[in-house]
A = this chain, B = another copy of it.
């Protein structure tokens, strides 16, 4: 690897090498996890390269290939599994200068990878009164490329499912890391080769996404004395086909009291809440439904004063991993898990075992057409052993855990090789220069996922040039 030869090939493509700035840009939200924090704190790249066009991306990748420099793509760096941590140093590839919305049609939008999700919606609303079907709660910062490469779903998934569902991504343009990098247009199922692949097998430079009708979503916060009633209500809302909602998230006491600073005044002691985003057309019916379920309407943005609306963050910034973020801000020892509870009874069981060690946060969603309870419970962290025990308790009780304390694709996901992504890496990144250390299948094909130990990337040091 020769960073200087690499740099020499870049021409006038902007490069940053100030160590403090490079270190800042070598970080994502890996520190959400005390486990990852301990493992990855020292990691940094040597330079940040910020191409401005597909041609410049090709030039960077050709240089990386030639000189054996590891490339870690980066959008806004809001990923929270250390996806964008440059385990082998090398160069960060900052995509945020490529942020143009390229084409808007009534039912789809095409944008460059670095376009920020909220900015995309801003333009599609103006042009065709459309918006993205769903977005992460990091809507105001995250890039579309980072979302596709590192995210899964979010606000809107209760209606539209997630990124991995057929039809959720219409197409991506990807650039390969080869002697002569190619532009590949992937559509249909082929999109899944690079979706949620952490940029290990191609750099996404453009994406085409479906749009749906935009709404002035009404934020609601509904109180319940009993958290299980809140969950039941949340599940029932998601089953109401006629009630158009974008977000349904039950949060158990004391999460709202302790961590939702600005909303605290609206919430009584001991109350659990359900966070909702409701289409204006469904507000009256929702109000009725809440009353039926004996919920207490604590807050409605459509009835709030100007001043309240200015003061309060949008409801979605209390949800998804923003719940965790708000807790972390108050109590740095907190961490979290990502789980799936098939039924409310599963939620109830886990709470009965773990109690306040695991303040419960549910995101009601659809999984292949079936309403289910996605969990992002907080964890009052003590040791890694205890964390693993909590995971085991989940698994023993029929609940799935996607471990967010792992930086590899496989360990955070389904614990097996994604053959399509591996095959595509062979084609698009034959030397393994792209985000090394994130795809176990590439580095260590024989790794046993059931042995109960975390994989450790051999290097956490520079890849050698082939």
CA A189 to CA B167, docked complex, whole Å: 35
Cβ-defined contact, B285 with A167, below 8 A: yes
Residues A275-290 near B (CB distance < 8 A): 279-282, 284-286, 288-289
How many Å lie between the Cα of A215 and that of B285 in the bound state?
25
Contact status A240-B368, CB under 8 Å: yes
A369 interface residue (CB < 8 Å to B): yes
Of A83-91, A158-166, A264-272, A398-406, the one touching chain B = A158-166
Nearest chain-B residue to A164 (Cβ)?
A: B242
Among B213, B239, B282, the residue within 8 A (CB) of A368 is B239
Which residues of A from 354 to 384 have beta carbons under 8 Å from B? 366, 368-371
A interface majority secondary structure: mixed
Query: How far is it, in angstroms, between the C-alpha of A368 and the C-alpha of B368 when the chains are bound?
Result: 16
Shortest Cβ distance from A161 into B: residue: B241
Interface size class of A (residues with CB under 8 A): 35 or more
Instruction: Give the distance to chain B from A50, nearest Cβ to Cβ, in Å.
Output: 33
A107 within 8 A of B: yes
Known: A107-B215, A188-B288, A213-B213. A241 touches B165 (CB 8 A): yes
Q: Find the B residue at minimum CB distance from A289.
A: B166
Q: Establish whether residues B288 and A210, one from each chain, have CB atoms under 8 Å apart when the complex forms.
A: no
B242 adjacent to A167 (CB under 8 Å): yes
Kindly state the separation between the CA atoms of A133 and B366 in the bound complex, as whole angstroms.
20
B residues less than 8 Å from A23 (CB atoms)? none
A238: CB under 8 A from chain B? yes
Cβ of A298 within 8 Å of any chain B Cβ, yes or no, is no
Measured CB to CB, the closest approach of chain B to A227, in angstroms, equals 21
Q: Cβ of B244 and Cβ of A167 under 8 Å apart?
A: yes
Cβ of A243 within 8 Å of any chain B Cβ, yes or no, is yes
In the complex formed, the residue of B with least CB distance to A168 is: B242
Q: How far is the CA of A255 from the CA of B33 in the complex (A)?
A: 59
Nearest B residue (CB) for A371: B369
- Contact status A284-B243, CB under 8 Å: no
Q: Given A166-B243, A242-B160, A242-B168, A188 and B285 touching (CB < 8 A)?
A: yes
- What is the minimal beta-carbon distance from A135 to any residue of chain B, in angstroms? 15
Q: A103-126: which residues lie under 8 A (CB-CB) from chain B?
A: 106-108
**A281 partner residues in chain B, CB cutoff 8 A:** 107-108, 167, 170, 210-211
Residues of B within 8 A of A368 (CB): 239-241
A212 at the interface (CB under 8 A from B): yes
Whose C-beta in chain B lies nearest to the C-beta of A130?
B213
Smallest Cβ-Cβ distance to A188: which chain B residue: B288
B-side contacts of A107, CB under 8 Å: 213, 215, 279-281
Question: Which of A's residues lie within 8 Å of B, judged by CB?
Answer: 106-108, 129, 133, 159-161, 165-168, 170, 187-189, 210-213, 215, 238-244, 279-282, 284-286, 288-289, 366, 368-371
New A-B contacts (10) at CB < 8 Å, excluding given A166-B240, A167-B243, A241-B366: A107-B215, A107-B279, A165-B240, A165-B241, A167-B242, A187-B284, A189-B288, A210-B281, A213-B213, A241-B368
Q: List 26 A-B contacts (CB under 8 A).
A: A107-B213, A107-B215, A107-B280, A107-B281, A159-B241, A160-B241, A161-B240, A161-B241, A165-B241, A165-B242, A166-B243, A166-B288, A166-B289, A167-B242, A167-B282, A167-B285, A187-B284, A188-B285, A188-B288, A189-B288, A210-B244, A239-B369, A239-B370, A240-B368, A241-B369, A369-B371
